[in-house]
Structure 1
């Protein structure tokens, strides 16, 4: 059934209540993201690649499948069996997409690793996962080879691009010797597909093992956050996995690519944000995705979106803040075709939200999720009204609540831990869940509250749910702190600071204080053309004090060239907090002397 929607109308409740999961017993990511399109529309573009030096290339679905088939044969020849881990250490490039399709269709497990990882980070993950093969290009080959000695299970390094000649096997020559025809293995929906290591706040990184079915679990959120991506004319319900049965083309509206939808995101395909929120769901709907191989730059981002007529994107709040400061009025300089913007990783805040609506002409759909349970909360401006500053509502198929330390649901307006139930509101298992942490049952059990079959999965993020089911982000549970008895969530203060024209970005952390327990301290990155002096400190303090509660304004402000960030674009407040704690220890030691 096709219906017409008016912007601003609220159809959330009907969609959320009517949605039902349909997860087939047999399901494979490569089959639904590539094979079916290679059979039905082989000449359709899949990957549109551009290097920062200006080189461009394109890969059709037929070419993507043929090259994936060759790589699957090669990996089998190298001894990779179903369930074995294969490391993919490359940026956004066609070979990265080929590698993922090849690994999935043979039943092995892809382990994407960031090209930014140094030798120690690579060594830990390669050794812990016991990866058999690693595929690397010029961005990572040196660090990978330096880490190899500490990963005895690693039998072969396949070198790609300019790295050819530095590994054990060269990509081009090896694939040329293999057949372009391959019989894919049948995989169950619960079989493992991806192993992604998360960077926790304490202890070594944990490997989250993601099954093939998790892609189905991601689809409602992806479609909604991208204003019904993949559906034309406008459909009345979100997708399920029912149409994605192996061996059959998904019978979804406009699945053949009508409507000219093109996706791009700077999110690294080595992370959940780039892989599960961009690459795989775009290919699932048979659309082209732009792969930009280069460093993020605000003006280059606008140029890229103009050049490829990008209609849908995922941009981190940090990227949007940089774009907002660098190009205040983008539509005066660029011809944009944006239909949807999803943002996640940090709170968007109403300053960036307003920039989207007023300067980009798009209501930014904030989304919330994590590697273990991705795409569970968010907005869809086309179907229900977004509220500036809110994370959104639970996406169809996900039962989400704010719970207390004992696992009880908190009343509206009460802060607590955002949690996702193993079953949806109909009692059906939610396919979005990870299988567990790699060889770490203790950590897996600690993630859940309640009985195994009736449990909540805690995210470790604090939020408030209002009477209408909208969630309001307060910060990571370990980022929230108390000052003079007041509970302080950093995101609201950071958002307020960014509204000032002199502030490009900000992070708020507690500074130890013997009287108040902690002071509110802000680290501020200045926008171009501004000087961080005492006058500006006072101006920023007054700016916050006049807009938020008196106890929330930063008692101390330190200007910094760049905030410590994760490779996924999240501010590492933990690093700044530890810096303040170390300074306090040194101060106490000096006073004692």
Structure 2
């Protein structure tokens, strides 16, 4: 596969043209977005409607002063207007900056000011926080309000589209032109804006097809099956929701379900049944919750699922077994990050998934595990997962970001070697085995030493989740004067279970009997919910800081 695959990146490329316009011209009545609100409101939108609305919005944005290269904030959840906004911004050659509706005023203020965004498109889920942040955002000229937020911004969406010319043209954009600015989740420090070019979508496609077992679902294959429907609870404001879900589904001309509401296991299963969802991206925290809440899903729901991709955290063999035994499929784990996404993973159709493994490099990506000097580690030796700027043929890999917004120092620090012939470090540690499978060891800053032993939290967390009383867990070091650190676990209990000293002993015995003696948690603290990023990743850094602060406080007498 790697030897035969060659990237085909045209000089000019526009995401809106390939995700919307070509389907509007070929199959205008085909459904693009299946919308459902948690209040029961439902609507289907075709590629023709997506094309028309995005052209009108592009014209409206032009009238509001948005020009090529300008950053436009999108503070909205999964809804039709969010897809329209993205297509309109790409048409103009402007830069879409998706922001989570969960961001508070301070988070919004930082990103809007750092990016220099001129305009924000906001619905009812974010309008209050945008209004609170706005007095400190001098460069934010216009707030375009959507849905139930109309009347609370400067311009209403419905009025702007009604007054706009009907057919704003799509500008010709170079494949290298900036298209998207996504701020990293900040698990290891202040958020940085990763600037992605138009061509980055091409770099995602091999991983998307492989992880969704979509060989045979190629829209250009006349023998393709019909009826594929995609859904993910992943917020379209982050790379997992945008680059792993919305844009690839539209690129392949497939409908995507946009659910505007809170995630819950029963809701997720009912939604997939109702809309005949065949393909999905479900992050491990969602799968763990679904596994605990609905252990026998096929007994309660008629599911059409054919493939699931999972990413963001290590899946672990407990969730892997749930997919195999209860959902009837292999969960294809995937690894990537905003800067270089969808680069490693599994494809049940073409190579066997190994429980606990991140998978193998997807075609088109040259992946290695490297040491501090940038030298490839021997197989079986832990190191930093890295991707080379050039593929196995020496051609540029289109999945790369352009750099961090206004942070050339941070961009340079991400790479090792000559700028045109270099490795990009992910900061995630792994071991590569003799067959090319990668085995996740944890974030570089998540791994710690306890009593001289090197501890990777993911293996212990996975072991804890196998216990029926545990819904989720996070393992961090607790400072200790004698041993440097103790292994501590924060545990979220599954429904129907209560915290007790007896349960602590039981969980410790559970881990001690399955892992090395030094790995079992010497201390367990029960917690209602783990601190999470908006992208569904556990913020172990928050828990580490909590432990460090507690250790710094003298014990009370």
**TM class by smaller structure:** over 0.9
CA distance in 1 between counterparts of 2:215 and 2:16 reads 20
1:322 offset after TM fit, Å?
0.3
Q: Paired residue for 1:192?
A: 178
Task: Within 5 Å, give how 1:298-313 maps onto structure 2.
Answer: 298-313=265-280
Equivalent in 358, 363, 370 of residue 325 of structure 2: 358
CA distance in 2 between counterparts of 1:108 and 1:17 reads 36
Q: Does the 8 A contact of 1:27 with 1:189 survive in 2?
A: yes
CA distance in 1 between counterparts of 2:505 and 2:4 reads 53
Q: Does the 8 A contact of 1:93 with 1:292 survive in 2?
A: yes
1:515 offset after TM fit, Å?
1.1
Equivalent in 284, 305, 311 of residue 251 of structure 2: 284
- Give the structure-1-normalised TM-score: 0.93
- Give the structure-2-normalised TM-score: 0.99
Q: Does the 8 A contact of 1:33 with 1:283 survive in 2?
A: yes
Q: Does the 8 A contact of 2:230 with 2:249 survive in 1?
A: yes
1:230 offset after TM fit, Å?
6.4
CA distance in 1 between counterparts of 2:250 and 2:187 reads 33
Q: Over residues 478-515 of structure 1, what are the superposed CA-to-partner deviations in whole Å (9 max), with x where a residue is unaligned?
A: 00001111110000000000000000000000001111
1:196 offset after TM fit, Å?
0.4
Q: Paired residue for 1:4?
A: none
CA distance in 2 between counterparts of 1:436 and 1:46 reads 31
Q: Paired residue for 2:534?
A: 567
1:561 offset after TM fit, Å?
0.5
1:207 equivalenced with 2:193 (yes/no): yes
Q: Paired residue for 1:132?
A: 118
CA distance in 2 between counterparts of 1:85 and 1:499 reads 45
Q: Paired residue for 1:389?
A: 356
1:179 offset after TM fit, Å?
2.4
1:174 offset after TM fit, Å?
1.3
Q: Paired residue for 2:75?
A: 89
1:258 offset after TM fit, Å?
4.5
SS in 1 for 2:174: coil
1:229 offset after TM fit, Å?
5.5
Q: Does the 8 A contact of 2:2 with 2:392 survive in 1?
A: no
1:170 equivalenced with 2:156 (yes/no): yes
Q: Paired residue for 1:481?
A: 448
In structure 2, stretches of 5+ residues that fail to align are none
Equivalent in 397, 405, 408 of residue 430 of structure 1: 397
CA distance in 2 between counterparts of 1:489 and 1:293 reads 36
CA distance in 2 between counterparts of 1:28 and 1:529 reads 51
CA distance in 2 between counterparts of 1:204 and 1:163 reads 30
SS in 2 for 1:302: helix
Q: Paired residue for 1:75?
A: 61
Residues 441 and 149 (structure 1), Cα distance of their counterparts in 2 relative to 1, 3 Å cut: same
Q: Paired residue for 2:490?
A: 523
1:221 equivalenced with 2:201 (yes/no): no
Q: Over residues 131-159 of structure 1, what are the superposed CA-to-partner deviations in whole Å (9 max), with x where a residue is unaligned?
A: 01100000000100111111111110000
CA distance in 1 between counterparts of 2:403 and 2:302 reads 45
Q: Paired residue for 1:49?
A: 35
SS in 1 for 2:158: helix
Task: Within 5 Å, give how 1:238-257 maps onto structure 2.
Answer: 252-254=220-222
CA distance in 1 between counterparts of 2:261 and 2:353 reads 32
CA distance in 2 between counterparts of 1:285 and 1:531 reads 47
CA distance in 1 between counterparts of 2:544 and 2:447 reads 11
1:201 offset after TM fit, Å?
3.9
CA distance in 2 between counterparts of 1:128 and 1:31 reads 29
Alignment root-mean-square deviation, CA: 1.2
Q: Paired residue for 2:548?
A: 581
CA distance in 1 between counterparts of 2:504 and 2:222 reads 54
CA distance in 1 between counterparts of 2:547 and 2:485 reads 10
Q: Does the 8 A contact of 1:231 with 1:254 survive in 2?
A: no
Q: Does the 8 A contact of 1:230 with 1:285 survive in 2?
A: no
Q: Paired residue for 2:424?
A: 457
CA distance in 2 between counterparts of 1:376 and 1:136 reads 32
1:252 offset after TM fit, Å?
2.4
CA distance in 1 between counterparts of 2:102 and 2:317 reads 31
1:30 equivalenced with 2:16 (yes/no): yes
Task: Within 5 Å, give how 1:408-423 maps onto structure 2.
Answer: 408-423=375-390
Q: Does the 8 A contact of 2:185 with 2:535 survive in 1?
A: no
Q: Over residues 243-288 of structure 1, what are the superposed CA-to-partner deviations in whole Å (9 max), with x where a residue is unaligned?
A: xxxxxxxx72159x85210000000000000000000000000000
Q: Over residues 381-409 of structure 1, what are the superposed CA-to-partner deviations in whole Å (9 max), with x where a residue is unaligned?
A: 01110000000000000001111111111
CA distance in 2 between counterparts of 1:22 and 1:203 reads 36
Task: Within 5 Å, give how 1:375-386 maps onto structure 2.
Answer: 375-386=342-353
CA distance in 2 between counterparts of 1:548 and 1:447 reads 34
Q: Does the 8 A contact of 1:365 with 1:379 survive in 2?
A: yes
Equivalent in 271, 277, 287 of residue 238 of structure 2: 271
Equivalent in 34, 40, 50 of residue 64 of structure 1: 50
SS in 2 for 1:369: strand
SS in 2 for 1:307: helix
1:204 offset after TM fit, Å?
2.4
Q: Does the 8 A contact of 1:88 with 1:112 survive in 2?
A: yes
1:231 offset after TM fit, Å?
2.4
Q: Does the 8 A contact of 2:213 with 2:348 survive in 1?
A: yes
Q: Does the 8 A contact of 2:185 with 2:534 survive in 1?
A: no
Residues 313 and 202 (structure 1), Cα distance of their counterparts in 2 relative to 1, 3 Å cut: closer
SS in 2 for 1:153: coil
SS in 1 for 2:333: strand
Residues 270 and 230 (structure 1), Cα distance of their counterparts in 2 relative to 1, 3 Å cut: farther
In structure 1, stretches of 5+ residues that fail to align are 1-14, 233-250
Q: Paired residue for 1:247?
A: none
1:200 offset after TM fit, Å?
2.7
Task: Within 5 Å, give how 1:526-537 maps onto structure 2.
Answer: 526-537=493-504
1:203 offset after TM fit, Å?
4.1
Worse-superposed segment, 147-156 or 46-55: 147-156
Residues 203 and 336 (structure 1), Cα distance of their counterparts in 2 relative to 1, 3 Å cut: closer
Q: Paired residue for 1:554?
A: 521
